Amino acid sequence: MRSGSHLERVLRSGKFAVTAELNPPDSADPEAVYERAQTIAASCDAMNATDASGAHVHMSSVGVCALLSRAGFEAVMQVSCRDRNRIAIQGDLLGASAMGVRNVLCLTGDGVQAGDQPEAKPVFDLDSMTLLRTACILRDKSMFLSGRKLDAPPKLFLGAAANPFVPPLDFRPYRLQKKVEAGADFIQTQYCYDVPRFRKYMEKVRELGIHEKVFILVGVGPVKTAKSAEWMRTNVPGVWIPDDVIERLKKGGKGEGKRLCVDIIQQVREIKGVAGVHIMAYKQEELVPEIVAEAGLHVTLPSNMP
């Protein structure tokens, strides 16, 4: 145990883990965070707070995670390289750990053009890989990137993202290997709607032996309708949805998105090397408890959760 993280404990004990995405509110009211947390908290082992995802500003992930941790919830703080340079990020990692945050997901981040303030300056001083290694240096060597010593290192369980579904497909497993080399303890993937493609990816991952060095959580989520699936496929960067899935949603009608999500969870669960799922139910958070129950998943709640 490197971090005292509840998520790490669940994963190391060999249980199938469930994480869920919490979308930070457009609000300065802490109650808005707790309301959202209550919807999903009892159905997951940890909650991810996004960091201005899609380049849209919301309450900061550091703020959300500090609130959640203080109240006894288990949070995964997403950190993106789009908005802050290495000086700001290292400070935030120390601050977050001091506030009780024990899990960090290191991301590069969407480009600023994806959001509603495309005139902003994109920073990208670090990338996801160098951010990951930087966090690792803070934790394991107890020093800043510059070599300056820390009095107390942050306690963090370090995560990274992977997208097995977009080109260059045959490079993706090697990129995962690089992330493990850079210090990733766990991985959360982009939405999986193409199980055969994911299976193929995992074959290569197992061949390289990566699944033994890192916990892989597969990203899943319910889509509302076939139309919204088509919209996501063309407009959300990095989301791959094959035609047969869209056909199924067209035919299935109401509730098919949720059934599809449950099916995918059950299918990926059988794949060797998969350690859990990460449920991203954007603006449908109320579905998370149903999905978890219908997929037959069991979660372990943190001992001090309210």
Partner 1 sequence: MFRFLQNSPHLLELFYSATGKALIPFRRVLKKGGTAERVFVDIEKWTKGAMFDCRMCGQCVLHSTGMTCPMTCPKEMRNGPCGGVRADGRCEVLPDKPCVWTQAWIRSREMPNYGNDILHVLAPVNRRLKDTSAWINHLHPENLNPPAGWQQ
Tokens encoding 262? 């449950």
Q: What 3-state DSSP class applies to 220?
A: strand
Interaction mask 197-236, partner 1, x per CB under 8 A? ----------------------------------------
Interaction mask 276-305, partner 1, x per CB under 8 A? ------------------------------
Residues 43-72 that bind partner 1 (CB under 8 A): none
Specify the residue, 126 or 295, whose C-beta has the smaller distance to partner 1.
Answer: 126
Concatenating the DSSP letter of every residue in 124-193 gives -SS-HHHHHHHHHIIIII-B-TTSPBPSS----EEEEEE-TTSSSTTTHHHHHHHHHHHT-SEEEEEE--
> At closest approach, how far in Å is the CB of 122 from partner 1?
7
Specify the residue, 19 or 134, whose C-beta has the smaller distance to partner 1.
Answer: 134
CA dihedral 43, 107, 134, 41 (to 10 degrees): -10
> At closest approach, how far in Å is the CB of 177 from partner 1?
7
Interaction mask 140-179, partner 1, x per CB under 8 A? -x-xxxxxx------------xxx--xxx-xx--xx-xx-
CA dihedral 249, 254, 255, 260 (to 10 degrees): -10
Specify the residue, 45 or 92, whose C-beta has the smaller distance to partner 1.
Answer: 92
- Is the bond preceding 168 in cis, omega lying within 30 degrees of 0? yes
> At closest approach, how far in Å is the CB of 43 from partner 1?
25
> At closest approach, how far in Å is the CB of 113 from partner 1?
6
Specify the residue, 92 or 110, whose C-beta has the smaller distance to partner 1.
Answer: 110
Specify the residue, 69 or 190, whose C-beta has the smaller distance to partner 1.
Answer: 190
What Cα–Cα distance (Å) separates residue 195 from each residue in 12, 18, 80, 187, 245?
25, 18, 27, 17, 10
> At closest approach, how far in Å is the CB of 57 from partner 1?
18
HSE of 115, CA atoms in CB hemisphere, 13 A: 20
Specify the residue, 125 or 203, whose C-beta has the smaller distance to partner 1.
Answer: 125
Residues 93-132 that bind partner 1 (CB under 8 A): 108-111, 113-114, 122, 124-130
Q: Say how far apart CA 190 and CA 278 lie, in whole Å.
A: 9
Residue 170 burial (CB count, 10 A): 10
Query: Number of residues in contact with partner 1, rule: CB under 8 A?
Result: 45
Are 128 and 179 in contact by the 8 Å Cβ rule? The answer is yes
Instruction: Choose among 140, 120, 135, 123: nearest CA to 85.
Output: 123
Q: Say how far apart CA 58 and CA 134 lie, in whole Å.
A: 25
> At closest approach, how far in Å is the CB of 33 from partner 1?
26
Tokens encoding 27? 């609000």
Are 46 and 103 in contact by the 8 Å Cβ rule? The answer is yes
> At closest approach, how far in Å is the CB of 182 from partner 1?
5
> At closest approach, how far in Å is the CB of 8 from partner 1?
23
Residues that bind partner 1 (CB under 8 A): 81-82, 86, 108-111, 113-114, 122, 124-130, 133-134, 137, 141, 143-148, 161-163, 166-168, 170-171, 174-175, 177-178, 181-182, 190, 237-238, 240
